[in-house]
């Protein structure tokens, strides 16, 4: 009869996992199954957050600044 253990661990640098306190002998072969979580552990970011991290800066920080710029541009066409 085969025995099984359910252990939880985190992925270490280099994509490695470490299992401690196993009841197997050193050098003995084991099968390891990695089950990924059903949901992403990283939180989704908004488009504004992504743009804020982009190189350079956004030209306008508020809707009012955009409206003002558009108004100025339209006024310059008329004169």
Q: Could you report the per-residue pLDDT of 14-71, keeping only the tens digit for each?
A: 999 988 877 888 888 888 888 887 766 667 888 888 877 877 766 788 899 999 999 9
- What pLDDT does residue 56 have? 74
- What pLDDT does residue 51 have? 77
- What pLDDT does residue 59 have? 77
Provide the whole-model pTM.
0.38
- What pLDDT does residue 67 have? 93
CB 59 within 8 Å of CB 73? no
For residue 16, which of 32, 3, 38, 29 has the smallest C-alpha distance?
32
């Amino acid at each position: 009869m085969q025995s099984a253990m359910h252990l939880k661990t985190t992925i270490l640098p280099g994509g490695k996992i470490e299992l401690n306190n196993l009841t197997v002998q050193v050098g003995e072969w084991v099968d390891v199954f990695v089950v990924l979580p059903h949901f992403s552990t990283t939180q989704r970011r908004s488009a504004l957050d992504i743009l804020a991290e982009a190189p350079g800066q956004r030209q306008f920080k508020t809707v009012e600044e955009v409206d003002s710029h558009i108004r100025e541009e339209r006024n310059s066409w008329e004169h």
